[in-house]
Amino acid sequence: MEQDLPVEIAGLVPTPTGCGVFLSHGEKMITIFVDHGVAAAITMFMHGVKKPRPLTHDLIVSILAGLDITVTKVVINDLRDDTFYARLYLIQENELGRHVAEIDARPSDSIAIALQQRCPIYVAQKVWDASEDMTWALNQAQQNDDELDDEDQPEA
């Protein structure tokens, strides 16, 4: 049986159309591209930014909480035609019993919700194996940022 691999967000890199979210496990990184709105939400959740009004992901989690539903994990479970797919794993526990559900969701929304709920993010082994290692791209982006920071420093 294939295992799901736990991943962490190693970095976010802006692109002209959104943002690349770099997920790491060991020495390898894969990239999922997200739109600007979800990238902003992911960034806010990563940095614990308090928002004056609830955003869409806040609303989703509030609805889930109102129904006694907890997000237990996110699994990026498929890759087809260069598009990633994900599943949200939910548990509802109340006086009627315990119900478990898997919900199809965009990886971008799933990552945002996982960060907000502090639940783990996994990538299915088959998806990990089929994905290109993008470590070089994050390293290059970080190097470019360092060079820009050096240019902004006053000369001594």
Written as tens digits, the pLDDT of the chain (156 aa) is: 679 999 999 999 999 989 999 999 999 999 999 999 999 999 999 998 888 888 888 899 999 999 999 999 999 999 999 999 999 999 998 888 899 999 999 999 999 999 999 999 999 999 999 999 999 999 998 888 766 666 666 655
Supply the pLDDT for residue 149. 63
Which helix (H) or strand (E) is 154 found in, with range? none
- DSSP SS3 for 79: strand
User: Which numeric CATH code is attached to 4-152?
Assistant: 3.10.690.10
Supply the pLDDT for residue 144. 80
Supply the pLDDT for residue 151. 63
